[in-house]
Structure 1
C-alpha cells in the first residue's frame, strides 16, 4: 500500500470510500468482482492518501458522506460517482452508467437518503476493511 497520494501517479481511476461502512465495503467488493479490467483502485476516505487526493481536488475531508471517484483528473461525487464507476464494470452492470441521464437532483436525493442511513441500515465496523492479499496492489492508504 502506498503511503501518500504524491507517491504515485494517479493514472488509474480511484474510488474513495467510507472504510468503516458495511454498505460501502460491500460495494467495493462488488466493484472488485465486476471490474474485469482490474483498473479501478481504492482508498478509504479515512486514509492520508484519500485526504491528500481530496485536497488536490478541492474537496473537504470533513463530513464526507459520499463516495468519490477520481478519473482523468476529474472528481465525481454522489450519484455521479456511482454512474462513472459503473462504466468500468462488466455487463449487465455497465448499464447503470446510463442512469446518469436521470436528473441529478433525483439521483442525488436517492443517494443522499442511502448515505444518511447507511450505518443504521447496514452497520458500521470499528476499523477500515483489510483487503484480500490479491487486492492489495489496488488499495492505497
Structure 2
C-alpha cells in the first residue's frame, strides 16, 4: 500500500498532510503530541483511523480494512503506511528529524516494516489502550479533522 495514489481528486479544503492514527492507542497519542511540538507551523493535520473522516479518507484510497492497525500518512494526494508513513512524517518535522528519516529510508522497507509490525503488535501491552479517542485541546483543535 506504500505510496498509493488517490483515486479521486484531492479536495481543495483538505490539508496537504494528514496523519491517521489509532485513536485509542496511548503510544499513538504520545506520537501525536510529539509531532505537534515539532511541527510549529502546523503543516500536519490529524484524524483517528476510527473517525468518520478517517474512514472516508481510507475509502478514497481503497485502503483495505485488514490494514487498519497501521498508521497512515496522506501527503499531497499519496498514501503512505507503516514505516513509510512514520518516515514521511519525520521529514516534515523540525530539528534533526528530516535527516534521521532520510537515513532510515536507506534501510529496506521489508526490514523497517518488521520492526514497525513488532511495535504495532505490542503497543497496547506496553502503553495501554484508552476507552475513548483523544480529545484535542482548544489550542490544537484546528489541526484535527472533523
Query: Quick check: TM above 0.5?
Result: yes
- Equivalent in the alignment of 1:122: 127
Deviation string for 1:8-64 (max 9, x for gaps)? 632320000001000000000000000122110000011000000000011024551
Does residue 9 of structure 1 match 2:9?
no
- Equivalent in the alignment of 2:54: 50
Distance 1:62 1:52 in 2: 16
Query: TM-score by structure 1 length?
Result: 0.90
Unmatched 5+ residue regions in structure 2? Answer: 1-9
Q: Is the 8 Å Cα contact of residues 15 and 45 (structure 2) preserved in structure 1?
A: no
Q: Is the 8 Å Cα contact of residues 16 and 77 (structure 2) preserved in structure 1?
A: no
> Kindly tell me: are residues 97 and 117 of structure 1, through their superposed partners in 2, closer, same or farther at Cα, counting changes over 3 Å?
same
Aligned-residue CA RMSD (Å): 1.6
Does residue 112 of structure 1 match 2:109?
no
Q: Kindly indicate which of the two structures has a greater share of residues assigned to helix.
A: 1
> Kindly tell me: are residues 26 and 8 of structure 1, through their superposed partners in 2, closer, same or farther at Cα, counting changes over 3 Å?
farther
Distance 1:131 1:72 in 2: 24
Secondary structure, in 3 states, of the residue corresponding to 2:79?
strand
Unmatched 5+ residue regions in structure 1? Answer: 1-5
Matches within 5 A, 1:84-123: 84-98=88-102, 99-123=104-128
Q: Which moved more, 1:97-106 or 1:45-54?
A: 97-106
Query: TM-score by structure 2 length?
Result: 0.87
Q: Which moved more, 1:29-38 or 1:87-96?
A: 87-96
Secondary structure, in 3 states, of the residue corresponding to 1:9?
coil
Number of residue equivalences: 136
